[in-house]
């Protein structure tokens, strides 16, 4: 590997999330401009030249009530872009910390996990979204939240939503934040990592979360053999080998 030179700063603030879709590279973070053009916390650039992609505009809400509006997580499928973080709107459309757009940045109104309710009261995710992993007909979302709006109120740091309208499929009870989610190439298995020491079962910090088609974690029968996951938690490193059925 070698570092490629970039002639100028791409973004004027932190970049916290990246997702590649062909030649388009999606960025999320705390920035408000990219390549000298206004892009509030979400943007797309050409993966080879870093030129701003004018075809994607998804400005993530302004600062409000002390929240920084950051986009912490981005995930891409062939037809959608998922954004998660600490924002409260996308392009002026109310979306509290989680949204789905099309390839132009337009909010997908069909996918609304929070359901109906009064924005900033019942209709809100009460903590940051830190990770997103689409998997077949599902979308897994992790973070620091302990409730998930009017439709899914008792959701603790990790949820499984359907990808049609965002309804809750499964709620996993992690005892601390879920900071990383990753899907296997065949989308049959989802891996989770974070600061948690329990998910309500026997798993700690890194494990196979679920197999597509399972209604809950107890139904998952995937086996990890010699899988090594590293998770940085401040100055502390968690590193484990997993070799057991979940």
Span 129-176, pLDDT tens digits: 999 999 989 999 999 988 876 655 566 789 899 999 988 888 887 888
- Identify the pLDDT of residue 231: 30
Sheet strands (E) in 67-197: 71-76, 81-85, 89-90, 93-94, 98-101, 129-135, 138-143, 157-162, 168-173, 178-183, 189-194
Taking 90 as the threshold, does the pLDDT of residue 191 lie above it? no
Span 76-114, pLDDT tens digits: 999 999 999 998 889 988 888 899 999 999 999 999 887
Question: Which is more confident, 196 or 129?
Answer: 129
- Is residue 65 very low, low, confident or very high in pLDDT (cuts 50, 70, 90)? low
Taking 50 as the threshold, does the pLDDT of residue 217 lie above it? no
- Identify the pLDDT of residue 115: 59
- Identify the pLDDT of residue 117: 46
Most distant CA pair in the chain, distance: 51
Q: Which residues contact 133 (CB under 8 A, 6 or more apart)?
A: 75, 139, 140, 181, 182, 183, 190
Taking 80 as the threshold, does the pLDDT of residue 219 lie above it? no
- Identify the pLDDT of residue 29: 95
Question: Taking residues 198-212, what's their average pLDDT?
Answer: 47
How far is Cα 195 from Cα 142, in angstroms, rounded to an integer?
A: 11
- Identify the pLDDT of residue 62: 61
Token pair of 8 as six digits:
């100028």
- Identify the pLDDT of residue 150: 61
Span 221-242, pLDDT tens digits: 332 222 233 232 232 222 222 2
Element (H, E) at 24: strand 24-29
- Identify the pLDDT of residue 71: 96
- Identify the pLDDT of residue 124: 72
Within 13 Å of residue 83, how many CA atoms lie on the same side as its CB? 35
Taking 60 as the threshold, does the pLDDT of residue 208 lie above it? no
Three-state DSSP class for 240?
strand
Question: Taking residues 195-208, what's their average pLDDT?
Answer: 56
Q: Which residues contact 78 (CB under 8 A, 6 or more apart)?
A: none
Span 1-60, pLDDT tens digits: 556 666 557 899 999 999 999 999 999 999 999 999 999 999 999 999 999 999 999 999
pTM reported for the whole predicted model:
0.79
What single-letter DSSP state applies at residue 198? -
Q: Which residues contact 192 (CB under 8 A, 6 or more apart)?
A: 131, 140, 142, 158, 174, 178, 180, 181, 199, 206, 207, 209
- Identify the pLDDT of residue 55: 97
- Identify the pLDDT of residue 188: 80
- Identify the pLDDT of residue 195: 86
């Amino acid at each position: 590997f070698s570092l490629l030179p970039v002639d100028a700063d791409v973004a004027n603030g932190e970049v916290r999330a990246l997702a590649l879709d062909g030649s388009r590279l999606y960025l999320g973070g705390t920035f408000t401009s990219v390549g000298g053009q206004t892009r509030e916390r979400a943007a797309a650039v050409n993966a080879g030249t870093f030129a701003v992609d004018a075809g994607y505009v998804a400005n993530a809400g302004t600062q409000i009530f002390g929240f920084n509006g950051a986009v912490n997580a981005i995930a891409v499928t062939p037809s959608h872009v998922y954004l998660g973080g600490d924002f409260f709107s996308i392009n002026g459309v109310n979306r509290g910390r989680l949204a789905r757009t099309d390839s132009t940045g337009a909010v997908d109104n069909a996918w609304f996990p929070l359901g109906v309710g009064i924005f900033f009261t019942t209709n809100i995710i009460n903590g940051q979204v830190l990770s997103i992993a689409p998997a077949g007909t599902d979308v897994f979302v992790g973070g620091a939240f302990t409730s998930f709006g009017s439709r899914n109120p008792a959701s603790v740091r990790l949820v499984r939503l359907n990808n049609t309208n965002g309804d809750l499929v499964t709620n996993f009870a992690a005892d601390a934040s879920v900071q990383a989610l990753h899907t296997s190439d065949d989308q049959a298995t989802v891996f989770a990592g974070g600061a948690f020491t329990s998910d309500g079962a026997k798993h700690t910090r890194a494990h196979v979360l679920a197999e597509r088609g399972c209604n809950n974690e107890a139904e998952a029968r995937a086996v990890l053999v010699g899988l090594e996951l590293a998770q940085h938690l401040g100055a502390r490193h968690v590193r484990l080998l997993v070799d057991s059925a979940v």
